[in-house]
Structure 1
Amino acid sequence: MPDFRNIPIVEIGPGSQASAAEDGLEYLAMPSGMQTYRAPLLPEPEDSEGLDQAHRLLAEVLAALADWQPGNRARRVDLDVLDSVNRRFVDQVLGEGEVSVAYEAAAPVRAQESVLAGVWRVQHRDQLGRVLRDTIEIGDVPELVRDATFVGADSRLDSACDTDDPALQNAPALLVELADQLASWRTGDPVHSINLSLLPLSDADLALLGERLGVGPVTILSRGYGNCRIGSTAKRNAWWIKYYNSQDALILNTIEVCDVPAVAQAAAEDIADSVERLDEILSLYRRSDA
């Protein structure tokens, strides 16, 4: 699992958008380098002696994937029962996918999606980074993202500001809009998205938005076409989302009001593909055992 300390923090203040001096007819390179599924390099079936623990655990993962439906809570499978050889085999099967999650708290958690969409390696750690619990979760997103991100967060947003301040352009109106959405939004409501890239925003606007929303405990990095960096805010159901191209230039800057941004979630059709892929892997070893 990668060192999540290297996940970039989602910037929400001055300098987080292109300045007027940077405007002009300079076309940004479009995102590239999309990751695609590659079958993992695994031991030959005849060399798989002693991997019964891993086979049984992965069969449990497969069953959970096959049973998963949108709206289901994530299923958890404990890896601490495996010896080092079996754990290494599971590591090979899972690999590393496109989405990683860092939860910063007294008991930090790091999660990494595997190459199988909807299968997450989740590690609970202590303050020194030592792994206390190592698990696999099966679902569209690790359970902590829904359960822990906004615990204790306030949905009230202070929208009062000096509308006569010449440094402010659109922040006052955006704060009123966000305050209304945060107060009324409920699970199941449509996502409310504000595209900041389409609005003239000064450094003072961005600083005020960042100050009022605050920074939450969850950072999510999604690597596909370029990077998508998602930061929870200190206000319940408010997320700040930035899309970068392959040259790390900001191409889209948004605030979303929702439970979990869709870009962070494994799609149902991708989870269905994971069922087929994992079954194909395990079928090689089933024939070997027959």
Structure 2
Amino acid sequence: MPINIPKQLPARERLLEEKIFVMDEERAVKQDIRPLSVLILNLMPEKERTELQLLRLLGNTPLQVNITFMNMATHESKNTSKSHLDTFYETFEDVKNRRFDGMIITGAPIEHLAFEDVNYWDELKDIMNWSKENVTSVLHICWGAQAALYHHYGIGKYKLPAKCFGVYKHNVSNPTIKLARGFNDEFTAPHSRYTAVSIEEIEKDPRLTLLSKSEDAGAFIIISNDEKHIMITGHLEYDATTLAEEYNRDLQKGVEVALPENYFPNDEVTNQPPNSWRSHTHLLFSNWLNYYVYQETPYEWK
């Protein structure tokens, strides 16, 4: 079934090229069904790239999904045009009186800052507090996951001695948990971050379950026991080339960065990296939408 997005959204043409079923608003209103409403708080600087990555995954399920994009009112985006934001994005003030079946809070390249030093931290706290009563399930990605662990559970982040950068093997602690249904015992996922969260603190917190971890990348998928929050410390939504683009960008900026681990074949940057995580990415998003959003959300919000 399709995702419902604005007809002029630039990502729409790319999604159609990839044969992903997209429906515009004119056709969607004629559908006599109750579509899911998903709010995406896009904190990434290159918002159009993140839009495409997430829409590709949300469009690969049997459910019709209405998408609303939101950005921060207290932060000015320097990498996305004002016209794009004005046309396709809303702010918290616009959506705070609505309810959503699901919500995604993306990562952001600001992990070097203490949470309280982020210029939109107060606004983000308001949004996360609001989500407790107005969203059925929230999926937090990378820095968004660290922010959720800190705000909701008091678990902070710490700086790594070197950037966690590459594609790493992970395992699943309990394959009977709905989010992991269909997962292999071992799977890969990309990471790109300078900070981490404590496995020990997560495992000691009775409100949380550590579903997946990696010997090299640490805690990966954390679920709150009330299933309200799902926190993923890596970037399953990344394309095959995203880590290469980040690596080249850092080199051009003069940033000292090691080659992404387990990524380029034979560690040769001229070799095309394979996407070894795509199937589990689609499975995770499909399981989230089905079991944590669709199965749990009320038909009519009261």
> Under TM normalisation by the shorter chain, which class is it?
under 0.3
Greater relative CO, 1 or 2 (CA 8 Å, sep 6+): 1
As a proportion of its length, which structure holds more strand? 2
Larger Rg computed on CA atoms: 1
TM-score relative to the length of structure 1: 0.25
